[in-house]
Amino acid sequence: MLAPKTQRRYCIYCRKHTLHDVKRSSGHKKSPLREGERRFHRKMKGFGSFPKSNPKDREKPTRKVDLRYKCAECKKEHNIGKGFRVKKFEIQTEKKEK
């Protein structure tokens, strides 16, 4: 997937549509364990049956991409949505001229 470098998006700070720089957010902090994860760890410790093989063995074929948008007017960054899974992700460096 090739994403455009700048996008016109709604800025939650300016409360209007402005140009945004698209940036790939990096260095994801590991979030605290969610309920499902905790339940899963409990299972793996041996309470009840062993439901599935350890996920460490099977890697996912795609990676999740999270985007950050930097408003050109107020210079604030914000995330939109939860990110999505793609095999390949690039941010367009030069605008294609028609």
Q: Using CB under 5 A as the criterion, what x/- string covers residues 24-63 for binding Zn ion?
A: ----------------------------------------
Beta strands 84-86 and 67-71 are: unpaired
Residue 41's identity, in one-letter code, is: H
Return the number of the residue (14 or 44) whose C-beta is nearest Zn ion: 14
Handedness of CA 81, 38, 56, 58 (dihedral sign): negative
If one asks whether residue 14 binds Zn ion (CB under 5 A), the answer comes out as yes
Report if residue 11 touches Zn ion, rule: CB under 5 A.
Answer: yes
Looking at residues 56 to 75 of the shown chain, list those that interact with Zn ion (rule: CB under 5 A).
71, 73-74
Q: How many residues bind Zn ion (CB under 5 A)?
A: 6
Task: State the Cα–Cα distance between residues 87 and 81, nearest whole angstrom.
Answer: 18
DSSP 67-83: EEEEETTT--EEE-SS-
How is residue 59 written in tokens?
């890697």
CB nearer to Zn ion: pick between 18 and 43: 18
* Residues of the shown chain interacting with Zn ion in the complex, contacts defined by CB under 5 A: 11, 13-14, 71, 73-74
